[in-house]
Amino acid sequence: MDTPNIDELFERRITFPDFEPQERLARLVGLDDQKTRLIKILGLLVNPVGLGNWVEKNHPGASDVVNAVLRRPPLVILAGDVGSGKTELAETIGDAVARQEDIELTLYPLSLSSRGQGRVGEMTQLLTNAFDHALDAAQKLKGSSGKNRGGVILLVDEADALAQSREASQMHHEDRAGVNAFIRGIDRIANAKVPAAVIMCTNRLNALDPAIKRRSADIMAFSRPNDEQRTSVLEPTLTSLGFSSKEVKVIVEMTGATEDRDFGFTFSDLMQRLIPSIVLDAYPNQKVTPSRSIEIVQGIIPTPPFQDEVP
């Protein structure tokens, strides 16, 4: 098989900092904990000296702490329900890290075509090439004095399609070989100690191979927005359209779990379906009204939860 070029391996390349991902990241409300944790993990890969400086200032003599933290694998798994903001966070978090560390980062989103066409050895070769490209790019950014000149993030969305558990009885030999290649790629990045990280997004955490989960520095859980988070999403827009606090509260309650369903709206349901539907219903000749908005909410069926079954 011919060695694929970089455009075949990755859907696109995104360089941070950049205003567009900065704006997208700012719109991700209700995910402050995940944002903070991910920024810290990625920031240490770019600037490992920062942790040493922190220990020296706050805990002199505790050098073992630095080694323990920096030895963690450069893999973070974002797991949870559909429409919960995993992929959007993964695609934009590099901007916050780049600004915090005053350095340039590049995101490489692995193309789903990397699964290949099922021919023997194809997926293994594609995954190996993808890690080769990421590792080579990161090697060139490694600094000799501690702080690196840049960083690389390899993003694997729908990771369960590429890294299913090898314990699954129905798993094809080629798929098993692909998982092995994935594990080797993560280990290669970790052993090279380069400014590179792998972010995996999945709706099916239980479907991931146990060896991959063991190699993760963190597994971040994402769920559907609660009342407070839905308020954070809806309140600014609805208030600007003339809704009172009481009227906003009604919409917030209606977009949560109800007697008819035990699940509420996802972040995507709120931002990409509900708000546009409310606006477009009134456009171009009418004003948005709370009463009509309530009718629109009643007519929208939120995205059903993804069933994460153990293979």
* 279-302 tens-digit pLDDT: 999 999 999 999 999 999 999 999
Whether residue 153 is found in the same domain as residue 237: no
Q: What's the pLDDT tens digit per position in 197-229?
A: 999 999 888 888 888 999 999 999 999 999 999
Does any domain span residue 152? yes
* Span of 24-28, 93-97, 172-176, 270-274 with lowest mean pLDDT: 172-176
Q: How far apart are CA 79 and CA 65, in angstroms?
A: 28
Q: How far apart are CA 47 and CA 150, in angstroms?
A: 9
- The distance between the two most distant Cα atoms of the chain, rounded to a whole number of Å, is 69
Whether residue 55 is found in the same domain as residue 140: yes
∠ Cα 53 54 56 (to 5°): 65
Quick one: average pLDDT of 255-270? Answer: 92
Q: How far apart are CA 220 and CA 251, in angstroms?
A: 28
Q: How confident is the model at residue 311 (pLDDT cuts 50, 70, 90)?
A: very low
* Span of 132-141, 154-163, 193-202, 237-246 with lowest mean pLDDT: 154-163
Is residue 125 predicted with pLDDT exceeding 90? Answer: no
Structure token digits, residue 211: 């060896």
Whether residue 70 is found in the same domain as residue 179: yes
Whether residue 103 is found in the same domain as residue 65: yes
**Angle of the 19-26 helix axis to the 86-101 helix axis, nearest 10:** 120
Indicate which CATH number applies to the domain containing 180.
3.40.50.300
Whether residue 146 is found in the same domain as residue 59: yes
Domain ends where: 177, 207, 222? Answer: 222
φ/ψ of residue 100, rounded to 5 = -65, -45
Residues spanned by the domain of 116: 6-222
Q: How confident is the model at residue 116 (pLDDT cuts 50, 70, 90)?
A: low
Is residue 120 predicted with pLDDT exceeding 50? Answer: no
Whether residue 206 is found in the same domain as residue 238: no
Beta bridge partners of 220: 78
Tell me the H-state helices in the chain.
6-9, 19-26, 32-46, 49-58, 63-70, 86-101, 122-139, 173-192, 210-214, 227-240, 245-254, 267-268, 275-282, 290-298
Q: How confident is the model at residue 67 (pLDDT cuts 50, 70, 90)?
A: confident
The count of structural domains within the chain is 2
Structure token digits, residue 135: 């590792």
- This prediction has a pTM of 0.85
Does any domain span residue 308? no
Whether residue 83 is found in the same domain as residue 217: yes
